[in-house]
Chain A
Amino acid sequence: MALGTVEFVQALVNGLLQGGFFALSAAGFSLIFGVQKVLNVAHGAFIVLAAFATIQFSILVTPVLHIDPLLSIFTDSLMLALVGGSVYLLLIYRIERTGFEAPLLATFGLSILLEYLASNGIGPFPALDPSHGIGAQAQHQSYSSTAFQIGPFFLQEAQALAFVMAVVVLPILQLFLSRTYRGRAIRATSQDWEAAEFSGINTKAVRLLSFITGSALAGLAGGLFAFTNSVTATAGDEVLLPVILVVVILGGIGSILGTLAAGFLVGVIMSVSSLIALTLPSQFQFHADLASLLTFLIFIVILMVRPRGLFGHGIAE
């Protein structure tokens, strides 16, 4: 198959849109890791939890109240803020001073628990099972599942929304971190929490705030995930977390705008490499894997040249 300009640009556009979603998914993880050195490996599961909520919303609420399920991304965000806050206070806060291993194991356990709930259903809410089409349900119910066309290019609406959210929300978050007292307190705590504490900053409140903010971002990303992908219970660990790690490390730990740029980069690399894979002879048609292979290769090359990531100061400090 020959590679036309239109297809190539379409792949670029898809990559940018998908990249916006990646950036949105990774930003919360990056914030939490930057501030409290906690690797929240349940972040992917948090996103799936939000996607699960949106799917339930589209099954249970939309048919009755005729509300576009796309609006549920905001309730997801609120819900995840609550979940994140509770997880921080009940779980992370008690163990985070012991080093980074305990929170890592605790959030790993949490992600297993969340996956179990998603694959078995929570109370009256049915389980996530794409073979029964439940994973794709949110798309069918959405008034926004349509794609729209700009010139010869097609844009899927939920993906475009993820892109817009990323481009709007992440710079606002960056402004919050650099311009407001609370934002500066978050940065001060991430640079030297003890110094922040004896300078008069309530670092427990700051850590809680960053965990809530990071989790709310997972909620936003998760709601959109329900529209753009077929959601499975283990998608958090199998699909999202690897991409999140790549984006966060490329962007530089704790750098929000770096995360945004890295999200776009990874999105474009993935989408263009799938396109290239499609043009290969049929015996090489394992394109889904080839796309990840190319992405991780480029990731390794970039890290060899710039070990601190593209924009950040890296973990070195």
Chain B
Amino acid sequence: MSAEAGEVVSIIGANGAGKSTLLKSIMGLVRTQGGEIVFEGTRVNGVAPHTLVAIGIAYVPEGRRLFPEMTVRENLRMGAPRRCPQVNERLKVVHDLFPVLEERSFQLVTTLSGGEQQMVAIARALMAKPKMLLLDEPSLGLSPIAFEKVISVIEKINREGVAVLLAEQSSERAMEISDRTYVLENGRVAGSGLSDELLHDPMVRAAYLGVGT
């Protein structure tokens, strides 16, 4: 399984297929049983998550996991490293992507809507200026309009050259914006290919996109 710079790769599969576990393993949040995780030519199994952030991997978890007793601005600040001369430029970048977050800067994140909280989670990850972004179920709890907003931002980030790994239940929309797709089944890769082709594969459509034959 791989993702190249500038690519959007989606991971689809049923509930419990291992999508979240895959992302958590990459992020060093669960221990790997075997296999190898390589980032830019370096093996990163067992590396602490904060070190992975420093070398360019950022993670937006399922359920957002914001710091509840902090403001929007503080949450964003925590995404950037301690010494970060460009912190204001990075704030400007994420505010351009999500203008509403600038207005909400000094509100506690818990006062925001689900869609806005998802934006904070993505913006926090972007504050690390990652080379690769892992997104776990960004559609969860979002209205279709809010999800479209998130999708358009993912496309925009990707155009800047960031590799995006997208694990998503709303598989069809995820596949539409991705270059390639992996299908997970019981923790194994059951299929992979160009998203355009898989989207038109009757087997995939029947099994994962909820389309009858």
Binding site for B on A (CB under 8 A): 181-182, 184-185, 187-188, 191-192, 194-204, 313, 317
Contact indicator A199/B82 (Cβ below 8 Å):
no
**Can you give 18 A-B contacts (C-beta < 8 A)?**
A184-B74, A187-B67, A187-B70, A188-B70, A191-B68, A192-B68, A195-B67, A196-B67, A197-B29, A197-B48, A197-B49, A198-B50, A198-B52, A198-B61, A200-B80, A201-B50, A203-B50, A204-B48
Q: With A and B bound together, what is the CA distance between A181 and B70 in angstroms?
A: 13
B94 to chain A, nearest CB (A): 14
Most chain A CB within 10 A, of B49, B65, B124, B128, is at B49
The listed residue (A198, A200, A204) touching B29 by CB distance below 8 A is: A198
Q: Are B68 and A200 in contact (CB under 8 A)?
A: no
Q: Contacts of B68 on A, CB cut-off 8 Å?
A: 191-192, 317
B48: chain A residues within 8 A (beta carbon): 197, 202, 204
Given contacts A194-B65, A200-B50, are A182 and B124 in contact (CB under 8 A)? no
Of residues 114 through 130 on chain B, the ones whose CB sits less than 8 Å from some CB of chain A are 124-125, 128
* B166 at interface by CB-CB < 8 Å: no
Besides the known contacts A191-B70, A194-B29, A203-B50, 17 further A-B residue pairs in the complex with CB atoms under 8 A apart? A185-B78, A196-B78, A197-B50, A198-B49, A198-B50, A198-B53, A198-B59, A198-B61, A199-B78, A199-B128, A200-B54, A200-B79, A200-B80, A200-B128, A201-B78, A202-B50, A317-B68
B201 CB–A CB distance under 8 Å: no
Q: Does B162 contact A (CB under 8 A)?
A: no
A311–B20 CA distance with the chains assembled, in angstroms: 37
A193→B30 CA distance, assembly (Å): 14
Expressed in whole angstroms, the Cα–Cα distance for A298 and B121 within the complex equals 43
Across the interface, name the chain B residue whose C-beta is closest to A313.
B69
Contacts of B61 in A (CB 8 A): 195, 198
- Contact between A181 and B77, CB atoms less than 8 A apart: yes
With an 8 A cutoff between CB atoms, is B132 at the interface?
no
Interface of A is mostly: helix
Q: B9 near A: Cβ within 8 Å?
A: no
In the complex, A68→B129 CA distance in Å?
53
Taken together as a complex, chains A and B put the C-alpha atoms of A201 and B53 apart, in Å, by 9
Give CA–CA (A306, B48) in the complex, Å.
40
Closest CB-CB distance, A203 to chain B, in whole Å? 7
Which 6 interchain pairs have the tightest Cβ spacing? A200-B53, A195-B65, A198-B49, A197-B49, A191-B67, A198-B59
Contacts of A188 in B (CB 8 A): 67, 70, 78
- Chain B's interface size range is 20 to 34
B29-75 contacts to A, CB under 8 A, are 29, 48-50, 52-54, 59, 61, 65-70, 74
Cross-chain contact of B69 among A187, A196, A200, A202 (Cβ < 8 A):
A187
In the bound complex, what is the Cα–Cα distance between A184 and B78 (angstroms)?
8
Taking beta carbons and an 8 Å cutoff, which residues of B are in contact with A? Answer: 27, 29, 48-50, 52-54, 59, 61, 65-70, 74, 77-82, 124-125, 128
Q: Is the beta-carbon distance between B77 and A184 smaller than 8 angstroms?
A: yes
- CB neighbours of B53 from chain A (8 A): 198-200
- Closest Cβ of chain B to A256, distance in Å, is 14
What distance in Å separates the Cβ of B130 from its nearest Cβ neighbour in chain A?
A: 10
Which residues of chain A come closer than 8 Å to B27, judged between CB atoms?
A: 198
In contact, B77 and A192 (Cβ under 8 angstroms) = no
- Contact residues in A for B67 (Cβ distance below 8 Å): 187-188, 191-192, 195-196
* Residues of B with C-beta under 8 A to A192: 65, 67-68
Contact of A200 among B65, B66, B70, B81 (CB under 8 A): B81
Cα-based distance from A182 to B125 in the complex (angstroms): 19
A313-B67 Cα distance, complex, nearest whole Å: 14
Q: Inside 8 A of A317's CB, which chain B residues have their CB?
A: 68
* In the complex, chain B residues whose CB is within 8 Å of the CB of A203: 50
CB neighbours (8 Å) of B69 from chain A are 187, 191, 313
A90 to chain B, nearest CB (A): 20
Question: A188 → chain B, closest Cβ, in Å?
Answer: 5
**A202 — nearest CB in chain B belongs to which residue?**
B50
Contacts of B59 in A (CB 8 A): 198
Q: Could you tell me the distance in whole angstroms from the C-beta of B76 to the nearest C-beta in chain A?
A: 10
Assembled-state Cα–Cα distance A185/B80 (Å): 11
Inter-chain contact A181/B82, CB cutoff 8 Å: yes
Q: How far is the CB of B119 from chain A (nearest CB, A)?
A: 15
- A185–B58 alpha-carbon span in the complex (Å): 17
Q: In the bound complex, what is the Cα–Cα distance between A192 and B109 (angstroms)?
A: 14
A200 to B82, CA, bound (A): 9
CA distance A141 to B131 in the complex (A): 63
Q: How far is the CA of A40 from the CA of B54 in the complex (A)?
A: 32
Establish whether residues B70 and A199, one from each chain, have CB atoms under 8 Å apart when the complex forms. Answer: no
Query: Chain B nearest CB: distance from A283 CB in Å?
Result: 51
Residues of chain B with a CB closer than 8 A to A184's CB: 70, 74, 77-78
Most buried by B among A182, A187, A200, A202: A200
